[in-house]
Amino acid sequence: MDFSTIKSKMEAEDGTGYKNVREIYADVRLIFKNAMKYNNEKHDVHVMAKTLLEKFEEKWLQLLPKVAEEEKRLLEEEALARLDIQLAQEKTYANLARDLSVELYQVDMKLKDLKEMVIQKCRKLSPQEKRILGSALTKLSHQNLNRALEIVAENNPIFQSSGEEVDLDIDAQSDYTLWRLKVFVKDALEAQGKVAGGVAVNDNLDNKKNNSKRRRELIDSLANTNIKKTRKLSTL
């Protein structure tokens, strides 16, 4: 380390210079310390280096309060700058959230319009189709049964889908709900591998495969029909 190097680093404008005055202080001390280290104590260079170091330390102590004050000011400026950046980011996020909320509201409105259109175009299920649907519901797995009840609850706020025993009045449900149930139950039963058992709820149901007396009774009347898994479902 030498004074010309210190001067060059102090004047550097390409980012390679000193970051703060404490770095300058450390390099100046290093020059004097090296002169003392590599020269005998009685050598003129050692003696002069020691004397200059003492003078330098005295000046540094006088300058230190101003250095501390400047460092505090810089820290406050950095904190304010970070706060400004944070506030700007939060404002950007808030604007994005607002725009997204507006877009989601518009999408929701379009979905409601589409739902209304679908409901209007849905034909009514016949009494026979409703009986078949009610019978098929009793054949669903526990997981699929829960989902079917959720479908009903989505369009019928007064329907209680929770509890050990649930009463489902097929005739009281809207056409839209019944069609949703019909499609869901058909797909669910196919996935359960029970189509061959005659419990699919499509228009081509083959009643001849219902060789079980209990199944025939369920098709003829839905009153007091229960499914006993971990929950019971009564279709009225």
Are the CB atoms for 163 and 208 separated by under 8 Å?
A: no
Give the tens place of pLDDT for each residue, 105-120: 999 888 888 877 776 7
If asked whether residues 143 and 201 sit together in one domain, one would say: yes
Are the CB atoms for 135 and 224 separated by under 8 Å?
A: no
- pLDDT bucket at 235, cuts 50 / 70 / 90: low
Cα pseudo-dihedral 12, 15, 18, 19, rounded to 10: 150
If asked whether residues 139 and 88 sit together in one domain, one would say: no
- Integer Rg of the chain from CA: 42
Mean pLDDT value across the chain: 80
Backbone angles phi, psi at 90, to 5 degrees: -65, -35
If asked whether residues 82 and 140 sit together in one domain, one would say: no
Q: What is the CATH number of the domain that holds 36?
A: 1.20.920
Of 208 and 91, the one with more pLDDT? 91
Whether 27 shows a pLDDT value over 90: the answer reads yes
If asked whether residues 175 and 84 sit together in one domain, one would say: no
Q: Which of 67, 93, 119 is the last residue of a domain?
A: 93
**Largest separation between any pair of C-alpha atoms in the chain:** 120
- pLDDT bucket at 153, cuts 50 / 70 / 90: confident
Whether 223 shows a pLDDT value over 50: the answer reads no
If asked whether residues 68 and 151 sit together in one domain, one would say: no
Q: Is 189 exposed, middle or buried (0-12, 13-18, 19+ CB in 10 A)?
A: buried
- Give a yes or no: residue 165 inside a domain: yes
- Give a yes or no: residue 100 inside a domain: no
pLDDT of residue 53: 93
Whether 225 shows a pLDDT value over 70: the answer reads no
- pLDDT bucket at 218, cuts 50 / 70 / 90: very low
pLDDT of residue 85: 92
**Domain total in the chain:** 2
- Give a yes or no: residue 103 inside a domain: no
If asked whether residues 30 and 72 sit together in one domain, one would say: yes
pTM (predicted TM-score)? 0.39
Give the tens place of pLDDT for each residue, 125-140: 888 988 898 888 888 8
- Give a yes or no: residue 106 inside a domain: no
Rounded to whole angstroms, how far apart are CA atoms 32 and 92? Answer: 53
Q: Which of 93, 112, 138 is the last residue of a domain?
A: 93
Q: Which of 93, 117, 144 is the last residue of a domain?
A: 93
If asked whether residues 30 and 85 sit together in one domain, one would say: yes
If asked whether residues 78 and 135 sit together in one domain, one would say: no
Of 196 and 1, the one with more pLDDT? 1
Are the CB atoms for 34 and 27 separated by under 8 Å?
A: no
Domain encompassing residue 41:
3-93
Rounded to whole angstroms, how far apart are CA atoms 210 and 95? Answer: 60
- Tell me the one-letter amino acid at 203: D
If asked whether residues 156 and 81 sit together in one domain, one would say: no
% pLDDT > 90, the chain: 22
